[in-house]
A and B are shown apart, each in its own frame.
Chain A
Amino acid sequence: MRDPILALDGLDKSFGALHATRQVSLDLRPGEIHALIGPNGAGKSTLIAQIAGTLKPDRGEIYLERQALSSLSVAERARLGLGRSFQVSSLAEPLSVLRNVMVGVQAVQGSSYRFWKPIRSDADLVEPALRAIEQMGLGHRADTAVSDLSHGERRQVEVACALALKPKALLLDEPMAGLGPEGSAKLTELLEGLKTRVPILLIEHDMDAVFRLADRISVLVDGEVVAHGDSEAIRNNPHVREAYLGEEAC
Chain B
Amino acid sequence: MTSLESHIPSRSPSLGRRPLSRETVIGWGLILVLVAAAVFAHLAGEPFYVNLASRIAIVALAGVGLNLALGFGGMVSFGHAAFFGIGGYVAGIGAFHAFDQSPLFGLSGLPAGSDLMPVLWLSALLVCGLVAYAIGAISLGTSGVYFIMITLAFAQMIYYFAVSWPTYGGEDGLPIYIRNSLPGLDTNNPLVFFTLCMALLGLALFLTQRWMNARFGAALTMARLNETRLATAGVEPRPIRLAAFVISGMITGVAGALFADLNGFVGPSMLSWHRSGEIMVIVILGGVGRLCGPLAGAILFVMMETLLGGLTEYWQLFLGVVLLAVVLFARGGVMGLLAGRERYA
Contacts and interface: CB of A to CB of B under 8 A. Distances in A.
Is there a direct interface between A and B, measured as CB atoms under 8 Å apart in the complex? Answer: yes
Interface size class of A (residues with CB under 8 A): 35 or more
Contacts of B13: 96, 98, 126, 130, 142-143
Given A96-B345, A142-B13, A145-B2, A112 B231 contact: no
Q: What interface size band does chain B fall in? A: 35 or more
B15 A126 contact: yes
Interface string B195-228: 0000000000000001101111111011001101
B232 interface: yes
A95 B225 CA distance: 9
B344 A84 contact: no
Nearest to A73: B236
Given A115-B210, A115-B211, A143-B14, A107 B216 contact: no
Given A91-B226, A96-B344, A116-B210, A102 B218 contact: yes
A103 B233 contact: yes
A50 interface: no
A17 B268 CA distance: 54
Given A102-B218, A115-B210, A78 B2 contact: no
Contact of A75 (B2, B217, B221, B234): B234
Contacts of B344: 94-96, 99, 145
Contact of A119 (B18, B213, B226, B342): B213
B274 interface: no
B215 A120 contact: no
Contacts of A11: none
Given A119-B213, A119-B215, A112 B240 contact: yes
A121 interface: yes
Nearest to B224: A92
Contacts of A143: 8, 13-14, 345
Interface in A68-126: 73-76, 78-79, 84, 86, 90-96, 98-100, 102-104, 106-108, 111-123, 125-126
29 contacts: A73-B231, A74-B231, A75-B234, A75-B235, A75-B236, A93-B225, A94-B225, A95-B222, A96-B14, A96-B344, A98-B13, A100-B229, A103-B229, A107-B234, A107-B235, A112-B218, A112-B240, A113-B243, A114-B216, A115-B211, A115-B216, A119-B215, A119-B217, A120-B213, A121-B15, A125-B215, A143-B8, A148-B1, A161-B229
